[in-house]
Structure 1
Amino acid sequence: MPRADRLLRLLQLIRVMAPPITAARLADETGVSVRALYRDIDALRAAGARIEGQRGYGFKLIEDPSLPPQSLDRDEIEALALGLAEVGSWGDPMLAKAAASVLSKVAATLSDERGRQLIHVIARVFQPTPRYASDMDLSPLRNACWQEVAVKISYLDQKNHESEREILPLSLVYNEDCVTVLSWSCLREDFRMFRTDRITALRSTDRSFRPRRVALLRTYLEQLQGQLSGQMARRK
């Protein structure tokens, strides 16, 4: 592989690989020795790429406006447009507005030909009614996840009984027919799921649980994956 092509591939790998992005992993992906990999990293830095990290700790690309935008092929453009259109059909006004903004910003960075392909994509989303019909504004809940603060909710169970819960919101999951918040229940001291269409009121407590959200969410997802694997094994 020509070195120029290898450097472009290396830059893309640092963009998309899950951390830790070690020299050994990058060398294996690009088919060079670790010593040659370090020389390639130095070449990218000399060309203007802001790559943080050092030997033994892994690397991270810091996006820089001075760098040229990533080029997208036609399939990537199709996937991007389809995904953003799906977000726009969910019925969440804030995310729909954000999806339209992302589309316009990406289109502005593409060549004329790719920009036209983005606007006139073949794949379309047809959703005559919002996928998630809920009167609840998800912005406060989404903000609580980002800010890592506990919230108090009024919640209707399956029997329509209302109760007050204090939860640590970890993530919003967009399921087939509803949006669910994955949470840590402060009362039960365990993980719980709550349908957002059954939340009748929400109030932030300003009680921070930072920096526990990522670790809690990782543990919860591992539990859910284990439960799913167990169910699939029993069906065999």
Structure 2
Amino acid sequence: MARSDRLLRLLQAMRQMLPPITASRLADETGVSLRSLYRDIDSLRAAGARIEGERGYGYRLVEDFALPPQTFDRLEIEALVLGLGEVQTLGDPELAAAARSTLAKVAATLPDEREQQMLHAISQVYRPGARYALDVDMGLIRQCCWREETLAIGYRDADGAVTAREIKPLALAYHQNVLAVLAWCCLREDFRIFRADRIADPRPTGKSFRPQRVSLLRDYLEKLNARR
């Protein structure tokens, strides 16, 4: 295998594997010796890739400038256009704007031939309107997910009755016709899926649940697996 191909394969492995990634795992994935792997990591760092970690502790790819967008092939460009086009229809203005901005930035870095392929992408997303009609501030909810901060909300059930809740938002779930928030409900002391269109007046409480987030997600996944 040519050295350039080997370096690209190493970068791709570091993008896909969960950090920290041990040198032995990377060596197995790329089919090289540990000695060659250490040299390859040094070469990637010299080329501009920001790789944290060291021998004996594992590695993490933080910033990757060694593989710019112009290396996307035609099918990858089509996937980008399709995926980002779908995001623009999700009904959350903040996220839709981010998708448009991302697509513009990618297009600006492509050479002329690849840019024409992006404009000519055969997979386009056309919808007559936003998929989700929402009055709630999803930007605020998203920020609390990122900050791992508890939210106070009013939640309306199917009969229209509203209860005050305090929740620990873990993730946003995009279903076919419903945008929802996966959270730990402090009132019910259990996991709940809250429909975004039934959430009213979300307010950050200033209380962090950061030390609990990983264990909460692990417990939720274990519950899902137990139901299968």
Q: Same fold (TM over 0.5)?
A: yes
Q: Residue 212 of structure 1: SS of its match in structure 2?
A: helix
Does residue 1:186 correspond to 2:186, yes or no?
A: yes
- Give the alignment's TM-score, normalised by structure 2: 0.92
Query: What is the RMSD of the two structures over their aligned residues, measured on CA atoms?
Result: 1.7
Unaligned runs of 5+ in 1: 230-236
Cα displacement (A) at 1:134: 1.8
Answering whether residue 96 of structure 2 is matched by residue 96 of structure 1, we say yes
After TM superposition, what 4+ stretches of structure 1 lie above 4 angstroms from structure 2?
none
> Are the equivalent residues in 2 in contact too, given 1:180–1:194 (CA < 8 A)?
yes
Matches within 5 A, 1:150-189: 150-189=150-189
Letter of the structure 2 residue corresponding to residue 114 of structure 1? R
Q: CA deviation at 1:48?
A: 3.4
Matched, 1:54 2:54: yes
Distance 1:61 1:170 in 2: 24
Paired residues of 1:82 and 1:124 also in contact (CA < 8 A)? yes
Q: Against the structure 1 CA distance between its residues 142 and 84, is the aligned structure 2 distance closer, same or farther, given a 3 Å change threshold?
A: same
Give the SS at the match of 1:187.
Answer: coil
Deviations 1:104-126 (A, max 9, x none): 00111111111111122110112
CA distance in 1, matches of 2:90, 2:162: 27
How many pairs align?
227
Q: Name the structure 2 match of 1:78.
A: 78
Q: Which residue of 2 aligns with 1:114?
A: 114
Report the alpha carbon displacement of residue 7 of structure 1 after superposing the two structures with TM. Answer: 1.4
Give distance in 2, aligned partners of 1:215 and 1:120.
45
Query: In the alignment, is the contact (CA less than 8 A) between 1:171 and 1:217 conserved in 2?
Result: no
State the distance in 1 between where 2:189 and 2:37 align: 47
Deviation per residue, 1:112-157 (Å, 9 max, x gap): 1111111221101121121112222211111111111111111111
Whole-Å separation in 1 of the counterparts to 2:48 and 2:156: 55
Q: Bigger CA drift: 145-154 or 207-216?
A: 207-216
**Post-superposition offset of 1:68:** 5.3
Q: Which amino acid aligns with 1:88?
A: Q
Stretches of structure 2 lacking an aligned partner (at least 5 in a row) = none
Are 2:9 and 1:9 aligned?
Answer: yes
CA distance in 1 between counterparts of 2:140 and 2:109 reads 32
Tell me how far 1:224 sits from its aligned partner.
2.2
